[in-house]
Amino acid sequence: MLFAVLLLPAAFAGWVVGHYTSLGSSTHTVTVAAPTTSTTTSQPTTSAATTTEATTTSAGTTTAATTTSSSSGSGNAAAGKAVFTANGCASCHTFKPAGATGSVGPDLDTAPAQDAKADNNMALPAFIKQSITDPDAYIAKGYSKGIMPTTFGSSLSSTQLNDLVAFIVSGTKS
Protein backbone atom coordinates (compact mmCIF):
# COMPACT_ATOMS: atom_id res chain seq x y z
CA MET A 1 0.00 0.00 0.00
CA LEU A 2 2.84 2.37 0.90
CA PHE A 3 4.45 1.58 -2.46
CA ALA A 4 1.28 2.63 -4.37
CA VAL A 5 0.96 5.84 -2.35
CA LEU A 6 4.55 6.84 -3.17
CA LEU A 7 4.40 5.73 -6.82
CA LEU A 8 1.57 8.08 -7.88
CA PRO A 9 3.28 11.37 -6.85
CA ALA A 10 6.61 10.17 -8.29
CA ALA A 11 4.97 9.33 -11.62
CA PHE A 12 3.23 12.71 -11.72
CA ALA A 13 6.49 14.56 -10.89
CA GLY A 14 8.26 12.62 -13.66
CA TRP A 15 5.59 13.56 -16.17
CA VAL A 16 5.78 17.27 -15.19
CA VAL A 17 9.58 17.37 -15.43
CA GLY A 18 9.55 15.53 -18.77
CA HIS A 19 6.79 17.72 -20.18
CA TYR A 20 8.34 21.06 -19.25
CA THR A 21 11.93 20.19 -20.11
CA SER A 22 10.85 19.19 -23.61
CA LEU A 23 9.69 22.77 -24.21
CA GLY A 24 13.32 23.86 -24.35
CA SER A 25 14.35 21.01 -26.65
CA SER A 26 17.08 21.55 -29.17
CA THR A 27 16.44 22.06 -32.85
CA HIS A 28 18.88 21.01 -35.53
CA THR A 29 18.65 22.18 -39.13
CA VAL A 30 20.00 20.00 -41.89
CA THR A 31 20.17 21.28 -45.45
CA VAL A 32 20.25 18.78 -48.29
CA ALA A 33 20.65 19.85 -51.90
CA ALA A 34 17.88 18.62 -54.17
CA PRO A 35 18.62 17.62 -57.74
CA THR A 36 19.57 20.40 -60.11
CA THR A 37 17.95 20.39 -63.53
CA SER A 38 19.07 22.11 -66.67
CA THR A 39 18.57 21.74 -70.39
CA THR A 40 20.69 22.53 -73.40
CA THR A 41 18.14 25.04 -74.68
CA SER A 42 17.70 28.53 -73.30
CA GLN A 43 15.56 27.20 -70.44
CA PRO A 44 16.52 28.52 -67.00
CA THR A 45 18.38 26.29 -64.61
CA THR A 46 16.56 25.48 -61.39
CA SER A 47 18.02 24.54 -58.08
CA ALA A 48 16.30 23.87 -54.78
CA ALA A 49 17.25 23.03 -51.25
CA THR A 50 15.28 20.95 -48.82
CA THR A 51 15.57 21.93 -45.18
CA THR A 52 14.58 19.52 -42.48
CA GLU A 53 14.29 20.69 -38.90
CA ALA A 54 14.47 17.89 -36.40
CA THR A 55 13.50 18.51 -32.80
CA THR A 56 14.62 16.02 -30.17
CA THR A 57 12.93 16.14 -26.77
CA SER A 58 14.48 15.09 -23.49
CA ALA A 59 12.49 11.87 -23.74
CA GLY A 60 14.32 11.05 -26.98
CA THR A 61 11.33 11.64 -29.25
CA THR A 62 12.22 13.26 -32.58
CA THR A 63 9.86 15.20 -34.81
CA ALA A 64 10.73 16.70 -38.18
CA ALA A 65 9.38 19.39 -40.46
CA THR A 66 10.58 19.69 -44.05
CA THR A 67 10.32 22.64 -46.40
CA THR A 68 11.70 23.22 -49.86
CA SER A 69 12.84 26.59 -51.06
CA SER A 70 14.57 27.98 -54.09
CA SER A 71 18.26 28.79 -54.13
CA SER A 72 17.42 32.43 -53.48
CA GLY A 73 16.59 31.47 -49.87
CA SER A 74 12.94 32.42 -50.14
CA GLY A 75 10.46 30.77 -47.84
CA ASN A 76 7.11 29.08 -48.13
CA ALA A 77 4.32 31.68 -47.99
CA ALA A 78 1.68 29.11 -46.97
CA ALA A 79 3.81 28.03 -44.01
CA GLY A 80 4.45 31.71 -43.26
CA LYS A 81 0.74 32.28 -42.72
CA ALA A 82 0.84 29.70 -39.92
CA VAL A 83 3.88 31.47 -38.38
CA PHE A 84 2.03 34.81 -38.63
CA THR A 85 -0.99 33.35 -36.83
CA ALA A 86 0.95 31.39 -34.20
CA ASN A 87 3.03 34.39 -33.14
CA GLY A 88 0.17 36.83 -32.64
CA CYS A 89 1.08 39.16 -35.51
CA ALA A 90 -2.63 39.68 -36.27
CA SER A 91 -3.21 41.28 -32.89
CA CYS A 92 -1.08 44.29 -33.88
CA HIS A 93 -1.01 44.40 -37.70
CA THR A 94 -3.65 44.71 -40.40
CA PHE A 95 -2.93 42.23 -43.19
CA LYS A 96 -5.73 41.09 -45.52
CA PRO A 97 -4.16 37.74 -46.54
CA ALA A 98 -4.23 36.73 -42.85
CA GLY A 99 -7.63 38.27 -42.12
CA ALA A 100 -5.85 40.52 -39.60
CA THR A 101 -7.23 43.89 -38.49
CA GLY A 102 -4.81 44.98 -35.76
CA SER A 103 -4.03 48.68 -35.45
CA VAL A 104 -1.08 48.84 -33.03
CA GLY A 105 1.57 48.36 -35.74
CA PRO A 106 1.88 49.37 -39.39
CA ASP A 107 -0.59 48.04 -41.98
CA LEU A 108 1.30 45.20 -43.69
CA ASP A 109 -0.82 45.47 -46.82
CA THR A 110 0.99 48.66 -47.87
CA ALA A 111 3.49 49.93 -45.27
CA PRO A 112 6.41 47.54 -45.92
CA ALA A 113 6.79 48.58 -49.56
CA GLN A 114 6.54 52.29 -48.72
CA ASP A 115 8.89 52.03 -45.74
CA ALA A 116 11.46 49.93 -47.65
CA LYS A 117 11.67 52.73 -50.22
CA ALA A 118 12.00 55.33 -47.48
CA ASP A 119 14.74 53.26 -45.80
CA ASN A 120 17.41 53.84 -48.46
CA ASN A 121 15.39 51.97 -51.09
CA MET A 122 16.02 48.65 -49.33
CA ALA A 123 14.90 45.42 -51.05
CA LEU A 124 11.45 44.48 -49.74
CA PRO A 125 12.31 40.96 -48.43
CA ALA A 126 15.43 42.27 -46.66
CA PHE A 127 13.46 45.16 -45.17
CA ILE A 128 10.70 42.88 -43.87
CA LYS A 129 13.23 40.45 -42.39
CA GLN A 130 15.07 43.31 -40.66
CA SER A 131 11.77 44.70 -39.39
CA ILE A 132 11.01 41.35 -37.74
CA THR A 133 14.46 40.62 -36.30
CA ASP A 134 15.47 44.20 -35.43
CA PRO A 135 12.20 46.16 -35.29
CA ASP A 136 13.82 49.35 -33.99
CA ALA A 137 16.25 49.61 -36.95
CA TYR A 138 13.65 51.60 -38.93
CA ILE A 139 10.59 53.14 -37.32
CA ALA A 140 7.63 53.80 -39.61
CA LYS A 141 6.22 57.31 -39.61
CA GLY A 142 3.65 57.70 -36.84
CA TYR A 143 5.06 54.88 -34.66
CA SER A 144 7.65 54.77 -31.91
CA LYS A 145 10.45 52.44 -30.81
CA GLY A 146 9.81 49.62 -28.39
CA ILE A 147 6.33 48.62 -29.50
CA MET A 148 7.17 45.48 -31.48
CA PRO A 149 8.86 42.64 -29.56
CA THR A 150 12.56 42.28 -30.29
CA THR A 151 12.64 38.52 -29.64
CA PHE A 152 11.46 37.17 -32.99
CA GLY A 153 15.02 37.03 -34.36
CA SER A 154 15.90 34.45 -31.73
CA SER A 155 12.53 32.75 -31.11
CA LEU A 156 11.84 31.93 -34.77
CA SER A 157 13.97 29.42 -36.67
CA SER A 158 15.53 30.60 -39.92
CA THR A 159 12.95 28.54 -41.82
CA GLN A 160 10.06 30.11 -39.91
CA LEU A 161 11.55 33.56 -40.47
CA ASN A 162 11.97 32.98 -44.22
CA ASP A 163 8.43 31.58 -44.44
CA LEU A 164 7.02 34.59 -42.58
CA VAL A 165 8.91 37.00 -44.85
CA ALA A 166 7.63 35.14 -47.94
CA PHE A 167 4.05 35.37 -46.63
CA ILE A 168 4.26 39.11 -45.97
CA VAL A 169 6.00 39.80 -49.31
CA SER A 170 3.32 37.79 -51.14
CA GLY A 171 0.53 39.97 -49.76
CA THR A 172 2.18 43.40 -49.69
CA LYS A 173 1.14 45.89 -52.34
CA SER A 174 3.86 48.01 -53.91
pTM of the model: 0.59
Q: Report the alpha-carbon distance of residue 88 to residue 90 in Å, rounded.
A: 5
pLDDT-based confidence at residue 74 (cuts at 50, 70, 90): confident
Give the right CATH number for 73-171 from 3.40.50.150, 1.10.3720.10, 3.20.20.70, 1.10.760.10.
1.10.760.10
Higher pLDDT, 59 or 72: 59
pLDDT at 6 over 90: no
At residue 155, does pLDDT exceed 50? yes
